[in-house]
Each structure stands twice: as C-alpha cells, then as structure tokens.
Structure 1
Amino acid sequence: MRLNNSSLHYYIMKHIIDKGNAPKVAEMAGVFKVATDEMITALKALQDYHGVVLHPESSEVWVMHPFSCAPTNFWIESDGGSWWGNCAWCALGAAALLDKDLTITTNLGAESRQVTIEIRAGKVMNENLFIHFPIPMIEAWDNVIYTCSTMLVFESESDIESWCERHCMEKGDVQPINKVWEFSKVWYGNHLSPNWMKWSVDEAKEIFARFNLVNLVWDMPSNNSRF
C-alpha cells in the first residue's frame, strides 16, 4: 500500500470504525512496510494537513475527526460497536459515516443533565435540541481539542446564554440539531474515502454558505489552504 495522506487517513479511519480504536504506530509501519521513524514522519505530515491529531510525546493517534480515541462528552453506540465523538458536530458526523441506527449520549452543556440523542433510519429523533458553536472557525485549529470541547448540546437558546454567563464564554452561533445533522452528512461525507482530501478554506466556506451558516463564527478570509 502506497503511503500518503489519503491512504494513511483511510487506513486509520477504517480501523476506528471497524474496531472502535486507532491502530498503533508500529502496526501502521508494518502495514505500509516502512520503518517506525518514517511512519511517524508520515503521521506528522497528516497532522500538519489537519487530518489527524497526535499525542505530542508518542505520536500515537489521539483524534481523527469526527472520532476521538480518548474519552469525551459524546458516547456513540450501535448494535455493531461504540465510539467517542469529539463534539456535537463530530458526533453527528460520526453517525453519518457509520450510517446505522445508533444513540449519542452526552451531557447538556457538559454539565450534570444527560440526554440521549437517537438516530433512526437516518433521522434525528430528538428534534428540540440546539448546538452551540462559540469558537470562530478561523481560530478552530489554534487548539482544536479545546474548540471541539466547547461545541455542546443544549435544550434552548436561553440555556446557552445562561451557560455562557456562568462560564465566561462568548456566545457564538446557535443551530438546531437537525440542521447540523444535514450539514454533518456533507462535511464528513468523504471521510471514509480512499481518495480523501481535506477541505480547503474556500471549499469549507462554500459548504457553510450552502447551509446558510452566516454568523461571524463561520466567516473566514478566502484562500486555498486546508481548513
């Protein structure tokens, strides 16, 4: 198997979907028939491309959006397996990739009240929920783990406003869960492709516009670099 960003991304993503965890560096080096140092270099190149997030010391896979390989506030479960999603957006994106009936268990605002989101026959059954996007997309990759940790589920916009006040967080964009579900299907729709490529900023802007995501949170200057 030829080693490049697309093939490496595909191998890791399929492993996570099939087994619920990421392959180890040594395993990937064996599969691609390269030395461990060469595999680590390839993984760091994929990270620079925003295709993976690695543990800073070991270079093992920490996050491959929409999945997390470490515990989070979003637990995804189906008859065929279970996974962690990084955030509300990612959890819905993972559900779209998995393409099966499942549940997403999370805590509203990452606080004490738990909710289980059901997806059945491609539809979100809990329609009266909202997702908050507080971090501007132009800053999303400054600390993508933190960014994901703030994209949470709420029952109302007033709950979001109260939450922002309690936690000294600027209110960002608020979207109904069904809209984010449809958006996530498109955003993550190519993530299991052997020919996967990361969206460019301009491609990302086009997808945002397609779903009428017009809040300043989604605004980015046009360029051809990868989002």
Structure 2
Amino acid sequence: MDPVLLEDVRVAVYAALASTGRLPADSELARLAGSPARARAAIEQLAEQRAWALGADGEIVLAHPFATRSFGYSVMSDTTLWWGGCAWDSFAIPHLVPDCGPVVVAGACPACDRPLAWRVDTTSPPEGRERAHFLVPAARMWDDVVHTCSNQLLFCDDACIDRWLARTGHPEGYRMDLDTLWRFAAGWYEGRLERGYRRREPADARAYFRQVGLQGPFWGLS
C-alpha cells in the first residue's frame, strides 16, 4: 500500500486518540483511505509494522501510549479522559499530548486493590513510595504486546509486588520507583503524533534505557 496513505491513516488514528481519547470514526478512515476495505487493509498493515496492536476482533486495542479499553489505568486532564495502555504509557501521555497540562493517573494495586492516584506533569516526577513492576523483558515485549502491557503495573510497594508474584506464580521482572518510571515515560514516544515518526532501532532503544537509569539484562544492557 502507498506509504503516504499508510501515514495518513496512522496520523489520523493518533490525532483522534490524542485529542479525544477515542478512535476516529470508521467512516472518517474509509474516506481517508478511499474505501472501507482499503482502510481495513491499512490498519492491518500498520499493525504488522507495530504502529499499534489489534485485539481478537481485529480492532485497534493499543496505539501506544493510548488504549481503547481499560488496561487498569485512566488518565484525566481538564478536557480529556484517556485509557493508559499500562503504567509506562499512562505516565507518558502528558509528555506526548501538546498542552494537555497536568493529568491524574488512577488505578488500583494489583495485590491489595488499594486505590492509587498520582498527579503527573512534565516538570517533575510525582511523589510517592509506590513501585512499578514490569513482567516481560524488553526483547520479548512484542511477542504478545497485549499480555506485556497488561503486566506493566503499579503497586503500593515492594511488599505488594512480592505478594502478587507469589499469588500469580509469575517470575520476578523489573522493579522501578516513580522517579525512574516518570523519566522512562517522558521521552519514549517523542514525535509519535507527527508525520514521519520512526520507531527506535534496538541500539537507540538501549541507549535510551541507559540514559533514563534502567539497568541489566532485562533491558538488554550489560
């Protein structure tokens, strides 16, 4: 398919999600692509290129950092309510969406179900003793990206992570504090709303991981 048309569809989807928290209407994408069939083909080809992830029904479920259903986190600005695709994505939205201002990220601890909320902006990390846990190593995150995002979670503290791992039988992943999560989210999706955006190559991704303070083989770092 024409790369220009693919980029038109990609930008239209991201623009709608950024401004409204919702996907554009099917009729809008069909008009843009020339027909419903061409719009469907563009969506599927862009999914193959990892522009987004499709659910079992073939519809877009994740267009990082936005989700089209609940992954456990809501992100609310003064004007817009989004679903965050995971802990990482939820903290990224205020950095990506122009002029959205501070947001409230809300969820619940997966271990004890205590409500959790943070005021997140672009100036400094939120305060709190909460901890994030990522289950799937970076090299395997796209093996099943819906599973991956469903397991990038925020907990009350390390004790709650320990209880959740014991209850679920999951292996230890990677833990980080709110400062690290905020730095990690701040620049990862830079440029994604603009035409010509390109995903980071593995070496660039590893350099970014190192820059924001991530460490070890979980992130492909020595």
TM-score (norm 2): 0.89
Structure 1 residue 111: deviation in Å?
4.8
In 1: Cα distance, 2:162 partner to 2:140 partner: 21
Question: What SS class does the counterpart of residue 5 from structure 2 fall into?
Answer: coil
Does the CA-based 8 Å contact 2:107-2:115 persist in structure 1?
yes
Partner residue, 2:55: 55
Question: What SS class does the counterpart of residue 37 from structure 2 fall into?
Answer: helix
Q: Which amino acid aligns with 1:80?
A: T
Partner residue, 1:86: 85
In 1: Cα distance, 2:133 partner to 2:84 partner: 16
Structure 1 residue 124: deviation in Å?
3.4
TM-score (norm 1): 0.87
For residues 55-83 of structure 1, what are the alpha-carbon distances to aligned partners after superposition, in whole Å with 9 as ceiling and x for unaligned? 343x4322101111112210111111101
Structure 1 residue 198: deviation in Å?
1.7
Verify: 1:26 aligned to 2:27, yes or no. yes
| Structure 2: tracts of 5 or more residues without a match | none
Question: What SS class does the counterpart of residue 75 from structure 1 fall into?
Answer: strand
Partner residue, 1:117: 118
For residues 105-140 of structure 1, what are the alpha-carbon distances to aligned partners after superposition, in whole Å with 9 as ceiling and x for unaligned? 111126521111112463333332211111111111
Q: Which amino acid aligns with 2:82?
A: W
For residues 152-185 of structure 1, what are the alpha-carbon distances to aligned partners after superposition, in whole Å with 9 as ceiling and x for unaligned? 1123223212221111111111111121111211
Identity of aligned residues (%): 22
In 2: Cα distance, 1:127 partner to 1:198 partner: 31
Question: What SS class does the counterpart of residue 21 from structure 1 fall into?
Answer: coil
Partner residue, 1:37: 37
RMSD: 2.1
Aligned residue pairs total: 218
Partner residue, 1:106: 107
In 2: Cα distance, 1:55 partner to 1:168 partner: 25
Partner residue, 1:46: 46
Verify: 1:183 aligned to 2:184, yes or no. yes
Partner residue, 1:147: 148
Q: Which amino acid aligns with 1:40?
A: R
In 1: Cα distance, 2:65 partner to 2:142 partner: 14
| Structure 1: tracts of 5 or more residues without a match | 221-227
In 2: Cα distance, 1:213 partner to 1:19 partner: 32
